[in-house]
A and B are shown apart, each in its own frame.
Chain A
Amino acid sequence: MYPTSLFFDILLGGIILGALYSLISLGLNLQFGVTKVLNVAHGEFMIIASYLSYVFFTSFKMDPFFSLLIILPFFFFIGFALERGLFGRLFLRLSVDEAVSISLLMCFGLMFIIQNVLMLIFGRTEKSYEYFSQTVDIAGAIFPLNRIIVGVAGVVLNFAIYNFLTFTQPGRALRASIMEPIGAQLVGINISKLRSYALGLGLIASGLAGMLISMFYAITPYSGSVYTIIALIVIILGGFGSMLGSILGGITLGFVSYVTMRFMSSTLVLVVFYAIFLLILLIRPQGLFRR
């Protein structure tokens, strides 16, 4: 392999995985930042979206991007309902510390339910579908076309979400309530309303990521929790509450994981992530990219 094609191989592979990781962790970071619910079922929600786009594609021949029209409103509604029905009331009744650990346990409950309902419906076997699986040659680096689509879509979506959070009024309100919950309330932001939007938006991000993943990975009911762990490590890397940190951290980990998979072994990826995690905790616990 020529050095230039190797360069493009690593560049593209890293960006594709990285865009995906940042998308997942943006959602989780937003959810945790605003609501203080550490949603460990985040990866499981993502896998629901993967299964939905799989079903729409195989049974109705529906394009995965088109199926987003159904998945995203549905996911937003789930997030909204979860906050209204479950978490919101917990945070009203209990002190913050208690509510954080109890909502964490509830998310475990959700995780078990989702995993095993998916098991019940789809079984243990891996599911995947063929979507633009022909290969393309980009300066000597050979990729299936669907990965390129995922990479482009991932970058665009990250950009869109980041701009939404930085430049629009609702986005500013969300970030304000992450940084200064009390101050945000003082300037007239309705936090309890915002919490449900934050959970819904976080789920929209996981729905997008799940749809993208179903295009090029085979999925099983249990493949979600690894993505939760990755998202959490990305958040630590970028800093809690920092959206730009999540994006940069996701890209960094994307490159690390692609290089590890490409040149070493895919079972080693999590081991390397943990080494990075420990290193960050030792050197810069507030996150690499946090101001």
Chain B
Amino acid sequence: MKRLASSLFLIMILLAMLISPFMLGDYLTAMLFLIFTYVILTVSWWFFCSTTKYVSLGTAAFVGLGAYITALFCRPLSVPLAILLGGCITFLVAFAIGLVTLRLKGVYFTIFTFGLSEFLSNAILWYENIYVGTIGRIVPSLDVRTLYYAQLAFLLLSLLFIKLTLRTKIGLALKAIGESEDTAIHCGVNHVFYKSLGFAISSMLMGIAGGLLAIRWAYIDPRIIFNPLFSFQPPVMATLGGVSTFYGPILGAIVLSSLSEYLSLQLKEYYMIFFGIIIIVVIYLMPGGVSQLITIRRKGQAIK
């Protein structure tokens, strides 16, 4: 009965998301597009970083890489092909980075990814200055509604993909590494390979999301697409929602991205101050996130 109710609820939400572009204006549709983007980024961050407990701060690097490759190849190829190519290249790049950095303990990885987007944006700036001459790139744009459906489809696919991958051998290996890496190695888990693979999968999703963002913005340059905010938001959103469940990060991303969109509209550019205060206060009060509170309450009821 409970299962039926929750699946009915999910179907209702899905229907609402399908018809909402016709009910809402362009502005709200664009906002939903952005929220979906953040959900994808947060869940793919969560997929690798919470299972293995290796904190990555490199989301912006992969978003930017995907966006840049999409911008480069959308004229010779078609737009969807360019986005997919962006995903493939981010997959390969992330796999290579993983092979090098994930052999080491967590802090090295965190520090490396922290500067990665700055590094890529500088490298691309330098390249374009010397060899291309111009810095920004114009991308053929599509209308908001088409993009909305593309992003919705990608969101559902990636959620399904992550959920299923967690059940396969890859997901099990990642979880085992997160629980106790030494034990996992002793049990014969090829830890470097699986960590790199998990990192590459999560980065690929980020890259595709970046490609879609590039199409949405119609113009990109390294300073815009390698925005450090993309790196910081996913861990914050996932932590606020609670990393122990699958729905926590989704919830956190929805709440926080709509909140920051609202605040940025109300307070213009100073909303980041409030955003910072919110991060500190909320994390300080509940380090386990919102979903942990819910599970605690459920457990409490069960005891009664």
Measuring CB to CB, which residues of chain A are less than 8 angstroms from any residue of chain B? 38, 40, 86, 90, 93-94, 97-98, 101-102, 104-106, 108-113, 115-117, 119-120, 225-226, 228-229, 232-233, 235-236, 240, 265, 267-271, 273-274, 277-278, 281-282, 285
Report yes or no: B270 in contact with A232, Cβ–Cβ below 8 A.
no
Q: How far is the CA of A110 from the CA of B130 in the complex (A)?
A: 37
CB-CB < 8 A to B273: which residues of A?
A: 112-113, 116-117, 120
- CB proximity of A38 to chain B, nearest CB, Å: 7
Q: Which of A108, A117, A265 contacts B232 (CB 8 A)?
A: A108
Q: Which of A93, A105, A236, A268 contacts B126 (CB 8 A)?
A: A268
Q: Does B136 contact A (CB under 8 A)?
A: no
Given A108-B236, A232-B115, A274-B119; A38-B276 close (CB under 8 Å):
no
Q: How far is the CA of A231 from the CA of B103 in the complex (A)?
A: 22
- CB proximity of A225 to chain B, nearest CB, Å: 7
Shortest beta-carbon contacts, A-B, top 7: A112-B276, A109-B279, A113-B276, A109-B280, A229-B115, A109-B276, A116-B272
Report yes or no: A102 in contact with B287, Cβ–Cβ below 8 A.
yes
Given A102-B239, A108-B232, A274-B119; A281-B277 close (CB under 8 Å):
no
Q: How far is the CA of A268 from the CA of B107 in the complex (A)?
A: 25
Q: How far is the CA of A104 from the CA of B235 in the complex (A)?
A: 10
- CB proximity of B144 to chain A, nearest CB, Å: 29
- CB proximity of A105 to chain B, nearest CB, Å: 6
CB-CB < 8 A to B119: which residues of A?
A: 270-271, 273-274
Residue of B nearest to A267 (CB): B126
One digit per residue, 1 when the CB lies within 8 angstroms of any chain A CB and 0 when it does not, for chain B 269-304 equals 110110111111001100100000000000000000
Q: Does B55 contact A (CB under 8 A)?
A: yes
Report yes or no: B115 in contact with A105, Cβ–Cβ below 8 A.
no
Given A104-B55, A113-B273, A117-B273; A281-B108 close (CB under 8 Å):
yes
- CB proximity of A85 to chain B, nearest CB, Å: 9
- CB proximity of B117 to chain A, nearest CB, Å: 10
Report yes or no: A38 in contact with B107, Cβ–Cβ below 8 A.
yes
Q: How far is the CA of A265 from the CA of B131 in the complex (A)?
A: 14
Q: Does B122 contact A (CB under 8 A)?
A: yes
Complex interface residues of chain B between 68 and 108 (CB less than 8 A to chain A): 100-101, 103-104, 107-108
Report yes or no: A109 in contact with B115, Cβ–Cβ below 8 A.
no
Q: Does B53 contact A (CB under 8 A)?
A: yes
Report yes or no: B112 in contact with A277, Cβ–Cβ below 8 A.
yes
Residue of A nearest to B238 (CB): A105
Report yes or no: B279 in contact with A90, Cβ–Cβ below 8 A.
no
Q: Does B185 contact A (CB under 8 A)?
A: no
Q: How far is the CA of A112 from the CA of B271 in the complex (A)?
A: 10
CB-CB < 8 A to A236: which residues of B?
A: 108, 111
Chain A at the B interface: SS class: helix
11 extra interchain contacts, Cβ-Cβ under 8 A, other than A93-B287, A267-B126, A271-B126?
A90-B287, A101-B55, A106-B280, A111-B276, A112-B272, A113-B272, A229-B114, A233-B111, A236-B108, A281-B112, A285-B108
Q: How far is the CA of A39 from the CA of B110 in the complex (A)?
A: 12
Given A90-B284, A106-B284, A225-B228; A267-B129 close (CB under 8 Å):
yes
Q: How far is the CA of A277 from the CA of B126 in the complex (A)?
A: 19
Report yes or no: A110 in contact with B280, Cβ–Cβ below 8 A.
yes
Report yes or no: B118 in contact with A108, Cβ–Cβ below 8 A.
no
Q: How far is the CA of A271 from the CA of B121 in the complex (A)?
A: 9
Report yes or no: B115 in contact with A274, Cβ–Cβ below 8 A.
yes
CB-CB < 8 A to A233: which residues of B?
A: 111, 115
- CB proximity of B5 to chain A, nearest CB, Å: 34
One digit per residue, 1 when the CB lies within 8 angstroms of any chain A CB and 0 when it does not, for chain B 158-197 equals 0000000000000000000000000000000000000000
Q: Does B251 contact A (CB under 8 A)?
A: no
Q: Which of A119, A226, A273 contacts B269 (CB 8 A)?
A: A119
Q: Can you list 12 residue pairs at the A/B interface with Cβ under 8 Å?
A: A97-B53, A101-B53, A106-B280, A226-B118, A229-B118, A232-B114, A235-B111, A265-B129, A271-B123, A273-B119, A277-B115, A285-B108
Q: Does B30 contact A (CB under 8 A)?
A: no
Residue of A nearest to B115 (CB): A229
Given A38-B107, A267-B129, A281-B112; A116-B269 close (CB under 8 Å):
yes
Report yes or no: B280 in contact with A268, Cβ–Cβ below 8 A.
no
Interface centre among A98, A101, A102, A282 (most CB of B within 10 A): A101
Report yes or no: A282 in contact with B118, Cβ–Cβ below 8 A.
no
- CB proximity of A234 to chain B, nearest CB, Å: 11
